[in-house]
A and B are shown apart, each in its own frame.
Chain A
Amino acid sequence: MVNDFPLWPERASTMAGQVDALFIALCIITGTVSVLVWSVIFFFAIKYRRSPENELAQDYEPPAILEVGWIVVPTIIFIGIFLWGAWLFFQEQRVPANALDIYVTGRQWMWKFEHPGGQREINTLHVPVGRAVRLTMASEDVIHSLFFPVFRVKADVLPNRYRTMWFQATKTGRFHIFCAEYCGTNHSGMIGWVEVMDDPSYQRWMAGGAESSMSSQGEDLFQKFACNTCHTNNASGRGPVLAGLFGKQVVLNDGRTVIADENYIRESILNPQAKIVQGYGPIMPTFQGQVNEEDLLKLLVYVRSLAAHPALTPANEPRSSGPARVAPQNPKGTQ
């Protein structure tokens, strides 16, 4: 798989071809203009080189209309580049609806991946070919950046905040994972491999390994941390009902509304006082320092899975759960 003198990275995702297309187009456009500029310079420098006959420059100025030309034309080209790049960026940001969820935790200096089925891996990531994969990522310490050169995507992984990124592999094989944001001593060792597998091998891989799914582990934690003492299944509990929460609008006691996304759930657990739900008191204790990053993800998956439960979820409201935050399709399910 690994070519030992590559001049071009492999194209292994649906985005790769599009990024390459823009890149090549830019090479051609800017290459042409640059070569033109150099040729003209050289041509002038030789043709009008100083010599006894050409001691003094000629008293001639090119027409000023040229200025307009080389202001307007590059501007148009540049704006074209912007539009193309922006369009590409939107593709890179918009997660397809049926994406497979994988959870990523970065820390000095390793990548931990966790599948909804509960499989955990370090520095290696198994994904199926031909299926969109959405990564939900957070860091335990400093900023890292998860980079898949062959998929042409990367995103910084921040502490105390979830970020998402997606790709859809188009080619089976074993490809590099790099950490692209400087993160300390062993930054260059924070690397790994992504194994893109065809469907049968992926199913086989998924079947092995895990004891229980992430959301059922999350459910256990929900009990262990005694969340269920307050968050019961009916509105008479001390805390709000969490079923159907994810992706919905929440009204706070100061009148603001927020969308219950990954970061909101995270904040609700770590810093519950920051946003108080309307109608409730600020009684929820903070779990900062008690839940680690991975447990937090499990709780998140669990809370999310409550939303996915068809019986509890009213029809998806398009405004409050935009394409970027579609409720997950949980392959293993909670039950």
Chain B
Amino acid sequence: MGQQHEASTLGMWMFLATEILFFGGILAAYTIYRLLYYGAFRDGAHHQNWRIGAANTAVLIGSSLTMALAVWAAQTSRRNITVIMLILTLLLGGVFLGVKAYEYSQHVHEGLFPGTLFTYVDEENPGYTKGVELFMMFYFTMTGLHALHMVIGAGLLIWMIFRARRGDFGPEYYSPVEVMGLYWHFVDIVWIFLFPLLYLLH
């Protein structure tokens, strides 16, 4: 079983390597435009509510902790704790997504959704308007992709909860939980970078 276990964590790591380049690609684009439209991107970040962002960051870090604890519980044959921790992770993930949805609706409301819905005008610096739209484009794409990953993760979590309840996991076989954990932590890491880039740098 050991070999299989190692293979699946290794496989997950390779997948995460591709994810690093996936998010890295958009990060490169973001960085270039941030430097080209410095002022506009600063103004753009002003439209983010850093309090909500910080709270959400805490939620996500919390979910990472519960995820890590779920792996620990699986490794040490604590079936009920595994299930509880997985459910907590799912809940925290749900809270995060809910908050995100709220933020999105706010932005759309303020006319900050790029494209035809974009009605916002930068009063101070009218010339920045286009740059702000670009910033919001990056904001929605990056957080949207991140949220998509969370949704996929949530789906996997439900499956894990089901399997954990069935008693599939134990010290000899826990690699699905472990792999799930790697994925979840990675999504957390992405957010750790998105948070300062999109909310704090102004």
A and B touch in the complex (CB under 8 A): yes
A residues with a Cβ closer than 8 A to B are 254, 271-274, 282, 286
Select from chain B the residue with minimum beta-carbon distance to A271. B127
Q: Does B116 contact A (CB under 8 A)?
A: no
Contacts of A272 in B (CB 8 A): 127
What 10 A-B pairs are tightest by C-beta distance, nearest first? A273-B127, A273-B125, A271-B127, A274-B127, A282-B125, A273-B128, A272-B127, A273-B126, A286-B127, A282-B127
Contacts of B128 in A (CB 8 A): 273
Give CA–CA (A282, B126) in the complex, Å. 9
Q: Which of A254, A272, A273, A282 has the most chain B CB within a 10 Å cutoff?
A: A273
Select from chain B the residue with minimum beta-carbon distance to A284. B127
Select from chain A the residue with minimum beta-carbon distance to B126. A273
Contacts of B125 in A (CB 8 A): 273, 282
Determine the main DSSP class of A at the interface with B. loop
Contacts of A282 in B (CB 8 A): 125, 127
Report the minimum CB–CB distance from A270 to chain B (whole Å): 10
Contact residues of B between 35 and 65, Cβ < 8 Å to A: 37-39
Select from chain A the residue with minimum beta-carbon distance to B124. A282
A-B contact pairs, 15 of them (CB 8 A): A254-B38, A254-B39, A271-B127, A271-B130, A272-B127, A273-B125, A273-B126, A273-B127, A273-B128, A274-B37, A274-B127, A282-B125, A282-B127, A286-B126, A286-B127
Contacts of B126 in A (CB 8 A): 273, 286
CB-CB contacts of B121-138 with A at 8 A, as 1s and 0s? 000011110100000000
Give CA–CA (A282, B43) in the complex, Å. 15
13 further A-B pairs in the complex, CB-CB below 8 A; given A271-B130, A282-B127: A254-B38, A254-B39, A271-B127, A272-B127, A273-B125, A273-B126, A273-B127, A273-B128, A274-B37, A274-B127, A282-B125, A286-B126, A286-B127
Report the minimum CB–CB distance from A211 to chain B (whole Å): 35
Contacts of B38 in A (CB 8 A): 254
Give CA–CA (A282, B130) in the complex, Å. 16
Contacts of A274 in B (CB 8 A): 37, 127
Contacts of A271 in B (CB 8 A): 127, 130
Contacts of A254 in B (CB 8 A): 38-39
Q: Which of B39, B126, B127, B128 has the most chain A CB within a 10 Å cutoff?
A: B127
Report the minimum CB–CB distance from B43 to chain A (whole Å): 11
Give CA–CA (A274, B126) in the complex, Å. 10
Report the minimum CB–CB distance from B100 to chain A (whole Å): 31
Select from chain A the residue with minimum beta-carbon distance to B37. A274
Contacts of B130 in A (CB 8 A): 271
Give CA–CA (A272, B128) in the complex, Å. 10
Give CA–CA (A272, B37) in the complex, Å. 13
Contacts of B39 in A (CB 8 A): 254
Select from chain B the residue with minimum beta-carbon distance to A285. B126
Q: Which of A274, A282, A286 has the most chain B CB within a 10 Å cutoff?
A: A274
Give CA–CA (A254, B127) in the complex, Å. 16
Select from chain B the residue with minimum beta-carbon distance to A272. B127
Give CA–CA (A271, B125) in the complex, Å. 11
Report the minimum CB–CB distance from A62 to chain B (whole Å): 38
Give CA–CA (A274, B128) in the complex, Å. 7
Give CA–CA (A271, B39) in the complex, Å. 13
Give CA–CA (A330, B127) in the complex, Å. 34
Contacts of B37 in A (CB 8 A): 274
Report the minimum CB–CB distance from A233 to chain B (whole Å): 26
Give CA–CA (A273, B39) in the complex, Å. 10
Report the minimum CB–CB distance from B6 to chain A (whole Å): 36
Report the minimum CB–CB distance from A160 to chain B (whole Å): 12
Select from chain A the residue with minimum beta-carbon distance to B131. A274
Report the minimum CB–CB distance from B97 to chain A (whole Å): 36
CB-CB contacts of B23-44 with A at 8 A, as 1s and 0s? 0000000000000011100000
Contacts of B127 in A (CB 8 A): 271-274, 282, 286
Give CA–CA (A272, B39) in the complex, Å. 13
Give CA–CA (A272, B127) in the complex, Å. 7
